[in-house]
Amino acid sequence: MKPTALVAGNWKMNGLASSQAELEALANLLKEGGTADCDVLICPPFTLVAAFAAASAAGIAIGAQDCHTAKNGAHTGDISAEMLKDAGATYVIVGHSERRADHGESNDLVKAKAEAVHAEGLKAIVCVGETEAERDAGRTLDVVLGQVANSLPAAATPSNTIVAYEPVWAIGTGRTPTTDDVAEVHTAIREALNERFGAAGEGFAILYGGSVKPSNAHELMAAANVNGALVGGASLKATDFNGIIDAYRN
């Protein structure tokens, strides 16, 4: 089974109620630009998930950027996957490198979050990626494959899980790996998925993230085993994000 490509926008800690105009602008651009051979997802901050899900036109899925492992309970300030589903989210990003770094999230915790996402019937986007020091030390594949092995639940399937490879040093820096480097890591992830999940391994979408822009999207999306993008900065402007989706238009 061939993966369905996904172009996902991670708005991070950006966006106010007025940002709904950007979602509407994106819907219009998608209508004008014609169909693209990919799914389209926006993950705004928690505060906007319900409003975006209510307003979102067909063709744009809405997701969240994190969740707690529990369904509910005494966890002040946290949000559960059940709440996100209730608000209209269909995807949840887990294990983003900013959460791994800022909140000390381990592979075990990321896996438990992905399981919580699956328990609600939502799709988990599980993020992995090496730091610059790890790449310089020649440890990229070690680190990334270790994260894939330990952050993905045993029950992961191509319909409930997407893997996102985001080299930490490429996030928000304007720097990207070469397409050969991207292909090398994505192909190694594919082989690990095939080894662990058998024939289903071929069906998982593997996204690339880190300084994806309209100007480099075509090249990056053409690399072997790249099935879409996880976009930060360039997802905040509808015209830029639509320019990335162009990589999936004929």
Residues that bind ligand 13P (CB under 6 A): 10, 96, 166, 171-172, 209-212, 230-234
CA dihedral 167, 170, 175, 177 (to 10 degrees): 10
Which residue number places its CB atom closest to ligand 13P?
A: 232
Is 197 or 231 the residue whose CB approaches ligand 13P more closely?
A: 231
* Cβ atoms < 10 Å from Cβ of 51: 17
Catalytic residue among 98, 120, 166, 186: 166
State in angstroms the smallest separation of the CB of 213 from ligand 13P. 8
For ligand 13P, give the closer residue by CB, 79 or 197: 79
Choose between 38 and 197: whose C-beta lies nearer to ligand 13P.
Answer: 38
Nearest approach, Cβ of residue 216 and ligand 13P (Å):
11
Q: How far apart are CB 95 and ligand 13P at their closest, in Å?
A: 11
Smallest distance from ligand 13P to CB 234, Å? 6
Q: Which of 22, 68, 96, 120 is catalytic?
A: 96
CB-nearer residue toward ligand 13P: 26 or 197: 26
Task: Mark whether 96 is an active-site residue.
Answer: yes
Name the residue nearer to ligand 13P (CB basis): 197 or 243.
243
Q: Please, what is the minimum distance in Å from the beta carbon of residue 1 to ligand 13P? A: 25
Q: Is 132 part of the annotated catalytic residue set?
A: no
Please list the active-site residues: 96, 166
